[in-house]
Chain A
Amino acid sequence: MLPTDTRSPGYFHKVVDCQYACPAHTPVPHYIRLIAQGRYADAYMINWVSNVFPGVLGRVCDRPCEPACRRGRIEEQPVAICRLKRVAADYKTDISARLPQGPFPKNGKRIALVGAGPASLTVARDLAPLGYDLTLIDEGRAGGGMMRTQIPKFRLPDEVLDEECGYIEGLGIATRYGARVNSLKSLLAENYDAVFIGTGAPRGRDLEIPGRQEAAANIHLGIDWLSSVSFGHITAIGKRVIVLGGGNTAMDCCRSARRLGGEDVKVVVRSGFKEMKASPWEKEDAMHEDIPILNFLVPKSFTHETGKLTGVVFEKVRAEYDEKGRRALVHAGEPDIHMPADDVLIAVGQENAFPWIERDIGIDFDKWGMPVVDQDTLRTTHERVFIGGDAAFGPKNIIWAVANGHQAAISLDLFCQGQNLKTNRPGPHAALTSQKMGLHEWSYDNEISNSLRVTVPHAEKSASLTNIKTEVELGFGPDLAISEAARCLNCDVQTVFSDALCIECDGCTDICPVDCITFTDNGEEPDLRTRLNAPAHNLSQSLFVSGGLKTGRVMVKDEDVCLHCGLCAERCPTGAWDMQQFMYQSAKAGV
């Protein structure tokens, strides 16, 4: 193999698993260290720069970082990254003085942002300090989009959302709340330099089975129902509730129903438990609230008497896999089941809807009715129209919407400044800084904690089930936060190797607790992987290969399970190993 080029930002970026997995590339280990030091406001600002909504995401993020966490490959559980982020938001001091301070000198360009969800708010946050004249339009009475309408208050209190939307609105953005855009053509006619669409996936998918029309009064579409609950239009539900669907919306529906009078609430899912789309922790929380999850049941019809819903008939199925591993649900050969119910909530998926976009203004749509969009620039086929978040790619999650927002902001800025959206696109910022403080002292805590993942304290179930606004998770306090933060392996502090300094004394190989360093003859990667001191099966993780050493061998390090404990550098007599912090910041508009 050729020597690894550690100066290329891409190499060490991949080693920081959590940051790499985060769509917004938040420098996770860096802010976790700040939390451990009690520097909550500093940790918050690191987050705010990258993901814009630390308080919101610290509660309801989909956490792509946690399955990626290296700790999960070495012991059982990853670091509770999401809940640590919440600690930064909960315990920070007033950070308003650290935000960009307006008024900003105007640059004369006007941009309309349609929909005030996480994607549009991110665009607004990135572009306002650059002097853009921004108008945020949303049919709701306040900003936040689905974060406000679809996420129940017991998971995300209004104060948290109000605070973080307020930081952005405070940057001098014109808001048109309560106003609905009915025609993109007429919006474009208002002479905006560009338009960004961040309207999410606002339409709940329906279930057209017998009885749907007749029993309509007690059958509700999940996201519409959640939004009515959120605004206080709905305050009660029947005692027996069936929730259809296995995603996170279904989990929010069933838990909300429990709080509005539902005593016998069930979730019924077509697929098996493991294949459900809901995050494991959301399923756990639902089951903790005495909500059974019933699998492999396909709804066949709604039963009703005198126009009132009486229940749902389900067909029992089982999963069969063909030779290509594709799943088919086949009849299980058992009689159908009737479950009585007073209300049914349908949460079987969401769709995008663009009835307000004229099809003749130059925006192409594909055969599924989704706008054609450039994955990198987020521009539609119309020169002035950009789109991001769920509106562009279908239902995903908040952190993807934020990541799209950053990219759209870069594109909008380049476009308004007359630059090429692809060739002039800024690259990431990356820097390596040695952490050496003394002979065996580093400016990070390199002692590896053996403690297991800390569970988050919850409010008393009796209290949280009686008030839909009582937040269930209480979050870590400072002590629990320190214990959990210590579990972080500091994967951003990199093992940097200088082959010219190495004398091949084996000090690093001998001390490495996870046997990831080998000195051996060079070869092609598949061959090298078989000749290392410990198995290197994880092909998604790189091998770090040095240049030729004095004996003609090379140093090969399998990055897979490296603890970043720095013992290789401590046992190195010549400083050939050094621990260097890798700071990676993805590009932002104007930065």
Chain B
Amino acid sequence: MAREAALALPAARRAWALPRDAGWYALLLPAFLLMTLLYVAPILQVLAISVTEPAPGIGNYERLFTNPGVQRVIGTTLRICVTTTAVALLLGYALSYVIALASPRAQRWWLLGVLVPLWISVLVRAFAWVTLLRRQGLVNQGLDALGLIEEPLRLVWNEFGIVVGMVHYMVPYAVLPMLAAMKEIDPRLLAAARGMGASRLTVFRRVFLPLSLPGLIAAGVLVFIFSLGFYITPAILGGGKTLMAAEWIKLQILDLVRWGLGAMLATVLVVAILVTLAVFSRVVDLRRLFGGGR
């Protein structure tokens, strides 16, 4: 009898067996549950508030079209983000170009210089910019001492100050994807182009720039998306006068206790980011943007 059972067992196990791949998916399950329970679910819950508070319906979203305050915040946010992205890309491109063409030894030092700011607290950096840019700050004093200005310039607690602080924060994020793209460009292509009679400028325009374009687009998407959600830097360098989306959401929820309105703009931000990613995923390889191998 025991022998019969022993013979029957493998057959039974086979009948109950899951598909071969099931084991691998089971290994992913804990991580999947953790993400869903602790991350996705709470976010959806908060976002749901936008259609339930103060009254069920899409009243909060109507304000997107009717409330000048909301529209102004969105306009300011977009304007600052576009400016920041443009300036960060320009500076980052120049920096990446220099790094990509430097000797391997010089490259390490350049890269260190680019990455060091990332290790300094964003709060410290924002206050440092306030110190530099305020009315009696180093920049105004310096310009005054040189006799270039009569009155101190208004460099901080406005959009200019915010853009300066954000660009400073974003340049490393702009450099990394662009540098990665530039390092993949075969230097022989540049030599070949010159050998065929192209001037340095033509080599850049016709060969280097097109080949580094994927990196440029990737960096643009990364910087723009990061910029949309900026909170600390605009809050400190904007001085409460220039409101960007993240600070406005905080104001609605924590100070004015208008959860519905805050959640509405948060939803709009999330959707805007997902749409940007969806559009550009057709143009560039997003895995490269987030550090994945080719």
Pairing of A with B: no
